């Protein structure tokens, strides 16, 4: 007869119980509708460890890029509303319905709001040897030479592009738009001088401004970003009512139980409040943390959809 020690017996029981524990803690999926390496992907991976700890299950980031973010968003809209699938997306979410009228889902009806994580202002930047020292200088140059001043963005219909469309409308100017597939490509051509300036989120632009390869000269936030405290907002420079911020929001498939939404909202808030995470969001993403309630995100998105959707339709803009 083989005798089993108490320690061995406990070890065997733990091994037998492990599959049941893993089954109960099935992986939670955060879908990012963009390729790895962008700011949305970075935010998702930053909060994933804290969510894993607080939700009691592994949290995995699932990148589903394509079609201006609509492919990954569609996957979440059609997922089971069981609290296992979530969407972490970017400001382009507000323009999906206007840019892509044949969407296979309805962003308003098929997704429930969870949290507005925060925002970062859009910023105009140029190569240091370019003559633009202010937004006023850009407007004057564009008026003197219609279509001669060029700007880069991360694509047709992006919030950066639409912001410049509004700027041209407000100032009666015409500029040449050069759409790029990513912020990195826009930065490269701006640093090389192939494009006069670029508009990008502070997260994209600030590291290059700090290193001296780009010079920032306007920010579109409601107030000055602490990292760009010497840089006036566009309103302070004399063009009021023209604000644009990049933002990150979390959504759930419509019908996800409210207790699951509340639990995710609380876990996100606690994770984003960790000193390391908060500092990274503020210093790397240049984010103004909001950490809203689900209802506040719902109201915010409705306002963004109305604002930017109108710009898309009135100017007959289509996605790349």
The per-residue pLDDT for 25 is 60
Query: Based on the domain organization, do 126 and 109 belong to the same domain?
Result: no
d(CA 52, CA 32): 17
Query: Based on the domain organization, do 168 and 95 belong to the same domain?
Result: no
Determine contact, residues 261/111, Cβ cutoff 8 Å.
no
Residue 143 within a domain: yes
Query: Based on the domain organization, do 273 and 300 belong to the same domain?
Result: yes
Query: Based on the domain organization, do 125 and 156 belong to the same domain?
Result: yes
pLDDT digits (tens, 9 = 90+) for 65-119: 999 899 999 999 999 999 999 999 999 999 999 999 899 999 999 999 999 999 9
pLDDT digits (tens, 9 = 90+) for 197-246: 999 999 899 999 999 999 999 999 999 998 889 999 999 999 998 999 99
Query: What is the rounded end-to-end Cα distance, in angstroms, of the chain?
Result: 74
Determine contact, residues 41/34, Cβ cutoff 8 Å.
yes
pLDDT above 70: residue 2? no
pLDDT above 60: residue 7? no
Token reading at 284: 């790397």
Query: Based on the domain organization, do 126 and 210 belong to the same domain?
Result: yes
Determine contact, residues 73/93, Cβ cutoff 8 Å.
yes
pLDDT digits (tens, 9 = 90+) for 242-273: 999 999 999 999 999 999 999 999 999 999 99
CATH number for position 115:
3.40.190.150
Query: Of 128, 111, 122, which is closest to residue 250 (Cα–Cα)?
Result: 111
Question: Residue 184 sits in which domain range?
Answer: 121-228
d(CA 239, CA 53): 46
Query: Based on the domain organization, do 172 and 114 belong to the same domain?
Result: no
CATH number for position 135:
3.40.190.10
If one counts the domains in the chain, the total is 2
- Split at pLDDT 50, 70, 90, the class of 148 is very high
Beta strands in 195-267 (DSSP E): 197-201, 215-219, 245-253
Query: Based on the domain organization, do 219 and 277 belong to the same domain?
Result: no
pLDDT above 50: residue 6? no
The pTM of this model reads 0.88
For residue 112, list its beta bridge partners.
252
């Amino acid at each position: 007869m083989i005798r089993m020690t108490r320690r061995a017996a406990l070890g065997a029981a733990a091994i037998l119980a492990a599959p049941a524990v893993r089954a109960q803690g099935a992986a939670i999926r955060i879908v990012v509708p963009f390729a790895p390496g962008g700011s949305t992907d970075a935010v998702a991976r930053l909060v994933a460890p804290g969510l894993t700890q607080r939700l009691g299950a592994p949290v995995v980031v699932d990148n589903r890029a394509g079609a201006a973010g609509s492919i990954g968003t569609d996957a979440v809209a059609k997922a089971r509303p069981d609290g296992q699938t979530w969407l972490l997306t970017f400001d382009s979410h507000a323009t999906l319905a206007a840019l892509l009228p044949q969407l296979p889902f309805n962003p308003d009806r098929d997704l429930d709001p969870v949290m507005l994580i925060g925002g970062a202002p859009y910023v105009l930047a140029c190569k240091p040897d370019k003559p633009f020292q202010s937004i006023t200088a850009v407007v004057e140059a564009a008026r003197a030479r219609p279509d001669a001043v060029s700007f880069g963005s991360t694509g047709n219909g992006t919030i950066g592009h639409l912001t410049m469309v509004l700027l041209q409308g407000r100032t009666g100017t015409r500029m040449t738009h050069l759409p790029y597939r990513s912020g990195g490509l826009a930065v490269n051509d701006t640093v090389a001088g192939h494009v006069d300036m670029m508009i990008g989120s502070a997260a994209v632009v600030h590291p290059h401004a700090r290193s001296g390869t780009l010079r920032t000269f306007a920010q579109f936030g409601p107030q000055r970003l602490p990292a760009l405290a010497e840089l006036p907002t566009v309103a302070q420079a004399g063009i009021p009512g023209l604000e644009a911020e990049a933002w990150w929001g979390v959504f759930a498939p419509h019908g996800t139980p409210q207790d699951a939404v509340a639990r995710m909202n609380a876990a996100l808030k606690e994770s984003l409040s960790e000193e390391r995470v908060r500092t990274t969001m503020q210093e790397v993403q240049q984010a103004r943390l909001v950490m809203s309630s689900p209802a506040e995100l719902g109201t915010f998105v409705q306002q963004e959809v109305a604002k930017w959707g109108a710009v898309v339709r009135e100017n007959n803009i289509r996605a790349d």
